[in-house]
A and B are shown apart, each in its own frame.
Chain A
Amino acid sequence: MRFVLRLWFCDVNGMGRRVGLAVLLLFVGAWPVAAAVQGEADWVARAAAATAQAQAIEERDALTAVEREAAAGMARAAADAWTAAAQAEEDAQGQADFIATAAPRIAAAREEAELLAKQEGQATPAVSAFEDIVDAATALREAEAILSRARAASGEATADQAAATSRLATLKEELVAARSIERAALDDVDQPSLDENQNSALLGPLRLDLMEAQRSAARQQVLQLEQLELALPMRSDLAIARRRVADQRAKLAKVKVVQLRSQVEALRQAEAHAAENAAEANVQAAAKLPEPFPAWALRSVVLARLTGDAAAQQVELREAMSESSLAAEELTQSLALGEDRVEAAAMTQATSAMFLAERRELPLIAPLQAELESRQKQLIELSTRLLDMKDERRRLTREGPLALDGVPEAQAQMAGKILSQFTEGLDDALAATSVVLDAATSDLDAADRHLAVVRQYGDFLDGRLLWTPDLKALRPSDGPLAVRDVTRWLTHLNMGQVVAELTGALKRTPVLVMLLGMVGAVLLGLRRRLERAVRNWHEPVGRLAADRFGYTAKAFAGDVLISCTFPILLLAVGLSFRSAGEFALIRAAGSALTALAVVLVPLFLMRRLARKGGLAVKHFEWPEAACLALRRALSWLIPLLAGTSLVVAFIGAQPSAEVDLRSVGRLVLMGTMLTLAVFLGRLLRRDGALAAAMMRSGGPIGRTHWLWYVLVVASPVAVAALAGWGYYYTALRLESRLLATVLLGTGLLIAYAMALRWLRLTHRRLSYAELLRKREAARVLREEAAAKALAEAQADGEELVEPEAMVPIPDTEEHITPFALNEQTGKLIGSAAVAAMAVGLWAVWKDVLPALGILNDVTLWSQMRRIDGVDTVESITLGAILLGVIAVSLTWTAARHLPGLVDLVVLGRFGLQSGTRHAITLLMQYVIVGIGLSLALSEIGFGWSRLQWLIAALSVGLGFGLQEIFANFVSGLIILFERPIRLGDTVTVADRTGVVTKIRIRATTITDLNQCELIVPNKEFVTNSLVNWSLSSPVTRLIVPVGIAYGADTRLAQKLLQDIAIKNKSVLKDPPPVALFLEFGDNSLNFELRVFVTDVLRRFPIKSELHLAIDDAFRDANISIAFPQRDVHLDQIGPLEIKLTDPSVPLPRGAVQSS
């Protein structure tokens, strides 16, 4: 409106400066008068005046720029305020008008709705019968249009009502704000501003005008809002009434549409029948014609039938489509309404009850999904059919005239008739099929939309319901109230009717359920026999030769069957009640029995497994005491859980009873959960038998007792607390999830125990076979050695060489020992159990997970992030932190277990060397850790885009600074792939010798003979020369040099050396030891004893042993070991000159004094 006014004034002022000046003078001069005359009502005119004034001021040359701006601004603000006042007044007037007329309108609408309802209640209005299909189709289209209009009107009314409700919720705050603005405006008028300048003659009136305008605007705003507050409930009422009218109209229209549809369908059918009959009539005549006319005639009949079917199909599809779209539309509206409700006011109990009812009525996903899939198939079929027919039609165009040419003249007319009939039939069928295809496509779209909306709405409801109390918090008076409810319910119960319905339901049991019951009865009959069989299967367990895993499998199957007997009977009765009962009570009882049956199976099974001498003790080797504790606990837990789950399930399944039993259900649930907590607390306490058994087995379960103990005991307590707080629905859902988790855990525990049993058995069998093999080999060797000893008739007292030492059994790394198998497979089973638990937990909790979306509402901190050049604020929420923690823990588990698993399952099959496999698994570990950490970091806002600069900068720094580390890292990879050293190898590197005990990616640990551990950087092995004493073979040569004195018996010495070598147990027989007489040395006759030994680290002890033996043997044989000797020879050719000197006279230098 303001815009229009401005436009108008623009035009006016466009007339010229003179006119503008005149207007200005008029308004500036006439303003006080005008104000008095116009009164408060004519705000539009005053707004116009103020705008004109503003423009006039802008054009006044006499004023300074500042003055002009201030004055014009004030005038404009006044104009705006006046316009707002006018607008508010107009709105208020609109509301007032509405209020004035609303009551009769509502009454009229209600009356109309009632009238329509009466019409609906009366006999179905007759729809005039049509004879012509075109007329019928037109009438149908019209009726459909009316129907869709009525539905649209209903939707509109619903939206209006929702809008009114949500507007009303925010209105109060607006009203408060408007009132405070009004007060402020009034205060301003009372205290005129004092900073008036010299142009107050101009600004003063302007300011006064502005204040008045603002006051009026605020006042009008308040009035308008007050009117709105009055009007909105009426609008809501009117919308409800309108919706009722529209719904009633839609119902009537729907009836009409259905009738017309059936008419149209009947007419189409009749038409198709006529066509079919006509075609059939021609079949006889066509028999005399040459091919392909008889075939065409037959095909015409089929096509006519197809066209008829297509008509029916089309009607069906359109109906289904309209149903789906309607349902989808309704759900969308409900969703919007629900969202509005939640937004307008926090969840209340009333909303929660409504949502709960809607959740219960929401269609199930699985049938909708199945329906959608079948429709997709149908669509594909239809498209294929259409294509085939199009192809046929093309061929017919080509072949038709040709076929006619081949027909004798006498039959030409008939042939022509058949051809034209076939062509027409094909065209009709084509047209009908393509219409059906269109209908099917839209139907599919509608179904798809419907499914999507059902999912969306379901998620929305689940999310809201889970965090909303649906009952009041528990009070002391709830106990007596519950008793009163139960008494009232019992008095409402018509026992006669219940019994009659029960027997009726049993009589109407479906065949499949009866079969199930029969299975239960058969199991009951076979129970004794089964028990006997299971006992027999326990017998061979634990025996070394007879025990097989098959006994465990059979006994387990037997136990499952025995445990299932009673639950199967219960299930049959429950299903029979559920499917046959018309009475809500019977259906609820059926649901409760079914739920009970499901709960009982695992409980019975556990009790059965834990019995004395049962599967758990005999096969799984669980401690007897733990089984006893479990058995005792179960014996009172089973009746408790059975009774309470029956009650809770029954109350949950009977929503529309006269008495709301939910508070009773809550008390029962709380009681059960608290008892369960006590039970679990006692059963699993640290000094209990069960915990003791778990601790004894070691492993993470025993170590983390405190953690899972708290979790296990606190979970039922938490559920009870939630229920007490009023979150009954939440508690029920969590309880069922908890139960499922417990079942999952139990199932996995049994599976784990079975796998361990298999492993233990296999390990035992392999170990035993290995033992027998070794014993056999040893026996053979013993016998051979004895025979040899006998044959050689060795001297008395000589020790026989131990056969084992003669032929050491090679224990290469590729040779899988039973122990390795045990350890590896144990890890594999553990990993599989962890993975299965993770998947199972996901499956169990995934329904509740969308509700965890609430965690994303808790923002911990925010950060700026640039996405595609636009800065956006990214919030890090509690949910993101949790996801990060989950990612880290999953990474840890995966990094620990996955590489080993891949190694065992995949790499082992490719015949890779174990070093290569080790390298691959190590690298895989690094990759897993890298990916997991980057995922976790990106969850908490440190995504790759933030890290990449850091990493780029770091890599330059690393390139220089950590050059050595990188070199070692790469060398580690080379070592792992190329394998110049392996674990257990004896190596000499950098003048140090030792055994490789650990190979890591940066450094390798070598333990030397002093038992010092040397951490050698991997670069050393790759870049420097390395001696590996045992790379391809552990055999090394040991040389013992021996020198004997000249004159000794050299042949004897050689034989002795040879014998000493042979007798030494550590010296290998192959290659044989050799004693060689190598040289006539300076002081000795030099021999060398060259022997081969396997153990590099024992070279020195062996050398010592040989030295001792040589010394002993040579001493016994009187062979002296030479030592260095120096002979001094004097010249004997000439005489020695001897001179006597006087000792008192000093000798000249160099002279020797002789005596």
Chain B
Amino acid sequence: MHILIPTAGTEPAQENAAYVVSIAKSLGAALLVLHVRQEADPETDWMATAAAFEEAASGSEVEVDSMQRVAEARDDRAEEIARAIAEAAEEGHCALIVMGASPQAKLSDWVSSRVARESKVPVVVVPRLEEKTPRGETA
């Protein structure tokens, strides 16, 4: 079983890493981090995100892999990103999508709701850092 973690390389996404790893661990799933970047962005952002998740997963036996998608800067960017995420989930045979809801992040609610509409698998939206810890622990 794979869980897709769409990110845009933002700090909040990386802060979610430990939480996401804990979900994966409890489900016995592997993580597939999807980094959506603009074409001009360097690949290092993607790697940094992947490394953050890998670091979070070290010693937890949760397998982490990462892929990237390039989104063009267009008006219907949210649509495009949402479609890319849904396609990636399908392509990577993912059973669940877990994504952040931080308003500062590029992949904020306006994307997650679209993803939920596009996707054929369940989508879990993780609230912001200060809100999630208690709930995360209870989960």
Bitwise interface map of B from 88 to 100 toward A, beta carbon under 8 Å scored 1, else 0: 0001100000000
Contact of B51 with A775 in the complex, beta carbons under 8 Å = yes
C-alpha spacing A779/B92, complex, angstroms: 31
Asked if B10 is at the interface of the complex by the 8 Å CB criterion, the answer is: no
Kindly list chain B residues whose C-beta atoms are within 8 Å of the C-beta of A772: 51, 54-55
Contact of A764 among B32, B43, B48, B51 (CB under 8 A): B43
* Interface residues in B37-84 (C-beta closer than 8 Å to A): 43-44, 46-48, 50-51, 54-55, 64-68
C-alpha spacing A545/B62, complex, angstroms: 13
* Interface residues in A538-586 (C-beta closer than 8 Å to B): 539, 542-546
Contact of B55 among A542, A545, A546, A775 (CB under 8 A): A775
Given contacts A767-B44, A768-B50, A543 and B55 within 8 Å (CB-CB): no
Kindly list chain A residues whose C-beta atoms are within 8 Å of the C-beta of B46: 544
Asked if A1078 is at the interface of the complex by the 8 Å CB criterion, the answer is: no
Given contacts A772-B54, A775-B55, A767 and B65 within 8 Å (CB-CB): no
Kindly list chain B residues whose C-beta atoms are within 8 Å of the C-beta of A544: 46-47, 50, 65-67
Given contacts A539-B91, A779-B55, A768 and B47 within 8 Å (CB-CB): yes
C-alpha spacing A767/B91, complex, angstroms: 26
Contact of A542 among B44, B54, B64, B68 (CB under 8 A): B68
Contact of A546 among B43, B48, B65 (CB under 8 A): B65
In the complex, which residue of chain B has the Cβ closest to the Cβ of A539?
B91
In the complex, which residue of chain A has the Cβ closest to the Cβ of B54?
A772
C-alpha spacing A698/B91, complex, angstroms: 31
Given contacts A545-B65, A546-B65, A779-B55, A771 and B43 within 8 Å (CB-CB): no
Between A543, A544, A546, A775, the greatest number of chain B beta carbons within 10 A of the residue's beta carbon is seen for: A544
Size bin of chain B's contact surface:
10 to 19
User: Smallest Cβ distance from A340 to chain B, in angstroms?
Assistant: 68
Contact of A545 with B64 in the complex, beta carbons under 8 Å = yes
Kindly list chain A residues whose C-beta atoms are within 8 Å of the C-beta of B64: 545
In the complex, which residue of chain A has the Cβ closest to the Cβ of B68?
A542
Given contacts A543-B67, A544-B67, A545-B65, A767 and B55 within 8 Å (CB-CB): no
C-alpha spacing A775/B54, complex, angstroms: 11
Kindly list chain A residues whose C-beta atoms are within 8 Å of the C-beta of B55: 772, 775, 779
C-alpha spacing A546/B64, complex, angstroms: 10
C-alpha spacing A544/B66, complex, angstroms: 5
Bitwise interface map of A from 771 to 788 toward B, beta carbon under 8 Å scored 1, else 0: 110010001000000000
Kindly list chain B residues whose C-beta atoms are within 8 Å of the C-beta of A546: 65
* Interface residues in A513-555 (C-beta closer than 8 Å to B): 539, 542-546
Contact of A771 with B67 in the complex, beta carbons under 8 Å = no
Kindly list chain A residues whose C-beta atoms are within 8 Å of the C-beta of B67: 542-544
Contact of A771 with B51 in the complex, beta carbons under 8 Å = yes
Contact of B66 with A545 in the complex, beta carbons under 8 Å = yes
Contact of A767 with B51 in the complex, beta carbons under 8 Å = no
Dominant secondary structure at the B interface: helix
Contact of B65 among A543, A771, A775, A779 (CB under 8 A): A543
User: Smallest Cβ distance from B131 to chain A, in angstroms?
Assistant: 27
Kindly list chain A residues whose C-beta atoms are within 8 Å of the C-beta of B50: 544, 768
* Interface residues in B14-51 (C-beta closer than 8 Å to A): 32, 43-44, 46-48, 50-51
Kindly list chain A residues whose C-beta atoms are within 8 Å of the C-beta of B68: 542
Kindly list chain A residues whose C-beta atoms are within 8 Å of the C-beta of B44: 767, 771
C-alpha spacing A779/B47, complex, angstroms: 17
Between B44, B51, B64, B92, the greatest number of chain A beta carbons within 10 A of the residue's beta carbon is seen for: B51
In the complex, which residue of chain B has the Cβ closest to the Cβ of A779?
B55
User: Smallest Cβ distance from A29 to chain B, in angstroms?
Assistant: 116
Contact of B48 with A771 in the complex, beta carbons under 8 Å = yes
Between B32, B47, B48, B91, the greatest number of chain A beta carbons within 10 A of the residue's beta carbon is seen for: B47
Kindly list chain A residues whose C-beta atoms are within 8 Å of the C-beta of B51: 768, 771-772, 775
Kindly list chain A residues whose C-beta atoms are within 8 Å of the C-beta of B48: 771
Contact of B54 with A543 in the complex, beta carbons under 8 Å = no
Kindly list chain B residues whose C-beta atoms are within 8 Å of the C-beta of A545: 64-66
User: Smallest Cβ distance from B12 to chain A, in angstroms?
Assistant: 18
Contact of A543 with B66 in the complex, beta carbons under 8 Å = yes
In the complex, which residue of chain A has the Cβ closest to the Cβ of B49?
A544
Kindly list chain B residues whose C-beta atoms are within 8 Å of the C-beta of A767: 43-44, 47
User: Smallest Cβ distance from A781 to chain B, in angstroms?
Assistant: 14
C-alpha spacing A772/B65, complex, angstroms: 14
C-alpha spacing A445/B92, complex, angstroms: 70
In the complex, which residue of chain B has the Cβ closest to the Cβ of A541?
B67
C-alpha spacing A768/B65, complex, angstroms: 12
C-alpha spacing A538/B28, complex, angstroms: 26
Kindly list chain A residues whose C-beta atoms are within 8 Å of the C-beta of B91: 539
C-alpha spacing A768/B48, complex, angstroms: 8
In the complex, which residue of chain B has the Cβ closest to the Cβ of A775?
B51
C-alpha spacing A999/B46, complex, angstroms: 37
User: Smallest Cβ distance from B64 to chain A, in angstroms?
Assistant: 7
C-alpha spacing A880/B51, complex, angstroms: 61
C-alpha spacing A772/B57, complex, angstroms: 13
Kindly list chain B residues whose C-beta atoms are within 8 Å of the C-beta of A768: 47, 50-51
C-alpha spacing A775/B48, complex, angstroms: 9
* Interface residues in A442-496 (C-beta closer than 8 Å to B): none
User: Smallest Cβ distance from A765 to chain B, in angstroms?
Assistant: 10
Kindly list chain B residues whose C-beta atoms are within 8 Å of the C-beta of A539: 91-92
In the complex, which residue of chain B has the Cβ closest to the Cβ of A538?
B91
Kindly list chain B residues whose C-beta atoms are within 8 Å of the C-beta of A775: 51, 55
* Interface residues in B86-118 (C-beta closer than 8 Å to A): 91-92
User: Smallest Cβ distance from A616 to chain B, in angstroms?
Assistant: 16
C-alpha spacing A539/B47, complex, angstroms: 19
In the complex, which residue of chain A has the Cβ closest to the Cβ of B50?
A544
C-alpha spacing A224/B32, complex, angstroms: 102
C-alpha spacing A512/B50, complex, angstroms: 54
User: Smallest Cβ distance from B93 to chain A, in angstroms?
Assistant: 9
User: Smallest Cβ distance from B120 to chain A, in angstroms?
Assistant: 18
C-alpha spacing A544/B46, complex, angstroms: 9
Kindly list chain A residues whose C-beta atoms are within 8 Å of the C-beta of B65: 543-546
Between B32, B46, B67, B92, the greatest number of chain A beta carbons within 10 A of the residue's beta carbon is seen for: B67
Kindly list chain A residues whose C-beta atoms are within 8 Å of the C-beta of B54: 772
Contact of B66 with A771 in the complex, beta carbons under 8 Å = no
In the complex, which residue of chain B has the Cβ closest to the Cβ of A696?
B39
In the complex, which residue of chain B has the Cβ closest to the Cβ of A545?
B65
Residue pairs across A and B with Cβ atoms less than 8 A apart, 22 shown, are A539-B91, A539-B92, A542-B67, A543-B66, A543-B67, A544-B47, A544-B50, A544-B66, A544-B67, A545-B65, A546-B65, A764-B43, A764-B47, A767-B43, A767-B44, A767-B47, A768-B47, A768-B50, A768-B51, A772-B55, A775-B51, A775-B55
Given A542-B67, A544-B47, A764-B43, 4 additional A-B pairs, CB 8 A: A544-B66, A545-B65, A764-B47, A767-B43
Nearest 7 pairs of A and B residues by beta carbon: A544-B66, A545-B65, A543-B65, A543-B67, A542-B67, A544-B50, A768-B47
